[in-house]
Amino acid sequence: MDFPANSLDDDVEIYENEDRENVITVFHTLRQQENKSLNLALADYIAQKQLE
């Protein structure tokens, strides 16, 4: 089963359907905490939410 999703900052929003109007849940992700120049989060791999 696939669910539409978008990232918003470091969070991932999961939607009920492709209309993307009703958020089912939000996954709060953390950035890597190592001393690196590139600290990634899971949300970096999900398309960003288009803000109107």
Domain annotation covers residue 50: no
Domain annotation covers residue 52: no
* SS3 at position 18: coil
Instruction: Report if pTM > 0.75.
Output: yes
Domain annotation covers residue 19: yes
* CA geometry: angle 23, 17, 21, nearest 5 deg: 45
Domain annotation covers residue 28: yes
Mean pLDDT, the chain, as a whole number?
Answer: 91
* Number of domains the chain is built from: 1
Domain annotation covers residue 51: no
Domain annotation covers residue 16: yes
Q: Where in the sequence is the domain holding 37, given as residue range(s)?
A: 5-45
Domain annotation covers residue 34: yes
Any residues with CB less than 8 A from the CB of 34 and at least 6 apart, and which? none
Taking Cα atoms as reference points, which of 49, 50, 52 lies closest to residue 8? 49
Can you give the pLDDT at residue 37? 76
pLDDT digits (tens, 9 = 90+) for 26-38: 999 988 888 777 8
26 and 43 Cβ atoms separated by less than 8 Å: no
Domain annotation covers residue 17: yes
